[in-house]
Amino acid sequence: MSNLRLIARLDVKGQHLIKGIQLEGVRKVGDPHDFAVRYYQEGADEILYMDAVASLYDRDMLLKIVERTAQDVFIPITVGGGIRSLDDALTLLRAGADKVAVNSAATLNPGLIGEIAGKFGSQCMVLQIDAKQKPTGGWEAYRDCGREHTGLDAVAWAIEGARLGAGEILLTSVDREGTRRGFDIDLIRTISDAVSIPVIASGGMGKIEHLFDAVLTAHADAVAMAHVLHYNQLSLSDVRKAAQTQGLSVRTLAQEMILV
């Protein structure tokens, strides 16, 4: 596989970086731009912004945050939350996003996946799946920040999304999000083994061992981290060193180049 990607996930609401629990119960953490710049300088492989509200007013705030960030951060930036059309995607890409993550609108209109991939390339189209365990086993994909049922089986939806042209899957366990109890390993493994596109594990990282599980047991190609970074429980360089010690392949940073 390619190098494991270490992604800093920043959920934003209005002009604030927030951290929720199971996508609800929100606390303000700080200025998203400043956090993103810090993570870039500390060696994040990518930045992921997720707009938690996505109202029209907040949309302008989000665009401003993306614009400011893209001027200072020279690694890939993915933006998700509230993307309903090709135009929404274009606006974010113009503002400085490299990829867009689409969830709700794609579950309602799967054709949007192919439209975005066809216009901007599959590399740009990240299918965001927020999955919850079903009482009967398996997982269901949820939309609207984990609040609404879609009736879609998460695994079947991942396979269909890849077929329609998604270039990556951002897979969040709603059950684990913000709990720091670790990723939903069965979920990530099932989907990662079912699709040939990369899968980003998200939701639940509380300590470094959780990352090892996500990669070694669940075959994730990338790991999104939020809480552990925002609250300084782990730094990106701790994560990178620990991953290397564990024998995981991650990118090496040339020390002398970090501050160019």
Partner 1 sequence: MKRVSIVDFGAGNLLSVLRAFKHLDAVIDLASTPEAVERSDRLVLPGVGAFGACIEGLEERGLVEPVKSFAATGRPFLGICVGMQMLFEQSEEFGNHAGLGLIPGRVERIPPTGAGGRPHKVPHIGWNALHKPPGADWQGTPLEPLPEMTSVYFVHSFAARPANPSHRLAECDYNGVALLAATQRDNICGCQFHPEKSGAAGLSLLARFLELAA
CB of 241 to partner 1, least distance (A): 15
CB of 260 to partner 1, least distance (A): 4
**Contact flag: residue 191 with partner 1 (CB under 8 A):** no
Q: Which of 11, 45, 58, 98 is catalytic?
A: 11
Is position 34 annotated as part of the catalytic site? no
**Contact flag: residue 3 with partner 1 (CB under 8 A):** yes
Q: Closer to partner 1 by CB, 124 or 174: give it.
A: 124
Judged by CB under 8 A, the number of residues near partner 1 is 40
**Contact flag: residue 91 with partner 1 (CB under 8 A):** no
Q: Which of 45, 51, 58, 130 is catalytic?
A: 130
Interface pick for partner 1 out of 55, 60, 64, 123 (rule CB under 8 A): 123
Interface pick for partner 1 out of 107, 122, 128, 173 (rule CB under 8 A): 122
Cα distance between residue 170 and residue 123, in whole Å: 13
**Contact flag: residue 40 with partner 1 (CB under 8 A):** yes
Q: Closer to partner 1 by CB, 116 or 141: give it.
A: 116
For 226, 251, 259, the CA distances from 241, given in Å and listed in that order, are 18, 10, 19
Total Cβ atoms within 10 A of residue 163: 13
**Contact flag: residue 120 with partner 1 (CB under 8 A):** yes
Cα distance between residue 140 and residue 150, in whole Å: 7
**Contact flag: residue 260 with partner 1 (CB under 8 A):** yes
Q: Identify residues 195-214 at the interface with partner 1 (CB under 8 A).
A: 196-198
CB of 120 to partner 1, least distance (A): 6
- Catalytic residue list: 11, 130
Which residues here bind partner 1, judged by CB under 8 A?
1-5, 40, 43, 45, 70-72, 74-76, 93-94, 96, 98, 119-124, 167-168, 196-198, 221-222, 250-254, 257-260
